[in-house]
């Protein structure tokens, strides 16, 4: 069975500082990996995805993530955070059959707090 | 593009009544829709997967007779919580995925429905 671990429940970062959110996964084959952000009152928004190819992927809002197969990790990074980045971040892994997407397995989320 | 609308955003009902939640893909054809449940300060748990025109596939432990899912068109899926009880109170979130372009193999999420059963 696939699983996703986000070891940090809460992270506090000063505005303008760099950010790294950790994600480790367990999956039997090459996974499809995602990072989503959830803000109060809004749906999950896709930040970025990894399907194949270049292991460093760029996303929206200045985020990037690196897929490291040897470490089963897909950590999310941002060089300089903004107060508007405060939210809940979810890492997810998925599989795909010939008919399309399968359901995602999510990590428990990391709550990001931005200090002024 | 790839917008998913979920309605209502919040519903309160009495124990024993049924509640219907709608999930619509507004600008793409959603061949597959998913329903998740999120408990407070916890992760999303997949409840079921539905393909347009087919019966939904439920995850282990999810009661299919309590959580009725219908995916009758390429833009609409509904989740009906039948005979709701307080333990069904939760945040329900839908997502949709298509087969072409930016919707292929990517799930787009609705804003969720908070269900409170009194």
Separation in Å, CA of B91 to nearest CA in chain A:
11
Dihedrals φ, ψ of A59, to 5°? -125, -165
Please report residues of A whose CB lies closer than 8 A to that of B59: 103
Q: Which of A42-56, A87-101, B50-64 has the lowest mean pLDDT?
A: A87-101
Residue A54, pLDDT score = 92
* Token pair for B52: 């347009």
Question: Does pLDDT of A99 surpass 70?
Answer: no
Answer with the residue of higher pLDDT: A24 or A96: A24
Q: Which of A4-8, A50-54, B46-50 has the lowest mean pLDDT?
A: A50-54
Q: Residue A59 — pLDDT band, cuts 50, 70, 90?
A: very high
> Which of A41, A96, A103 has the CB atom closest to B34's CB atom?
A103
Q: How far apart (Å, rounded) are the C-alpha atoms in residues A89 and A107? A: 9
* DSSP secondary structure letter of residue A15: T
Q: Which of A116, A115, A113, A91 is nearest to A5 (CA)?
A: A91
User: pLDDT averaged over chain A?
Assistant: 92
Answer yes or no: do B31 and A51 touch at CB < 8 A.
no
Residue A100, pLDDT score = 62
Terminal CA-to-CA distance of chain B, rounded, Å? 37
Question: Does pLDDT of A98 surpass 60?
Answer: no
Cβ-based interface (< 8 Å): residues of A facing B: 32, 34, 36, 41-46, 49, 51, 90, 94, 96, 99-109
Q: How many CB pairs under 8 A join A and B?
A: 63
Is B107 exposed, middle or buried (CB count within 10 Å of its CB: 0-12, 13-18, 19+)? buried
Residue A71, pLDDT score = 94
Residue B104, pLDDT score = 81
Average pLDDT over residues A90-97: 85
């Amino acid at each position: 069975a696939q699983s996703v671990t986000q070891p940090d429940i809460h992270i506090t970062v000063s505005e303008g500082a760099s950010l790294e959110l950790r994600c480790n996964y367990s999956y039997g084959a090459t996974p499809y990996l995602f990072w989503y952000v959830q803000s109060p009152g809004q749906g999950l928004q896709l930040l970025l995805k990894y399907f194949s190819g270049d292991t460093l992927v760029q996303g929206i809002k200045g985020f990037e993530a690196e897929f490291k197969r040897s470490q089963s990790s897909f950590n999310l990074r941002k060089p300089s955070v903004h107060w508007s980045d405060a939210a809940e971040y979810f890492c997810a892994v998925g599989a795909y059959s010939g008919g399309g997407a399968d359901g995602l397995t999510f990590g428990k989320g990391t709550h990001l707090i931005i200090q002024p | 593009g790839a917008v998913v609308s979920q309605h209502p955003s919040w519903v309160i009902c009495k124990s024993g009544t049924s509640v219907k939640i709608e999930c619509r893909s507004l600008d793409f054809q959603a061949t597959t829709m998913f329903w998740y449940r999120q408990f407070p300060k916890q992760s999303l748990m997949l409840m079921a997967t539905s393909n347009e025109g087919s019966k939904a596939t439920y995850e282990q432990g999810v009661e299919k007779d309590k959580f009725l899912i219908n995916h009758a068109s390429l833009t609409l899926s509904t989740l009906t919580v039948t005979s709701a009880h307080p333990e069904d109170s939760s945040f329900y979130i839908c997502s949709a995925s298509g087969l072409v372009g930016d919707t292929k193999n990517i799930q787009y999420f609705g804003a969720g429905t908070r269900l409170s059963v009194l």
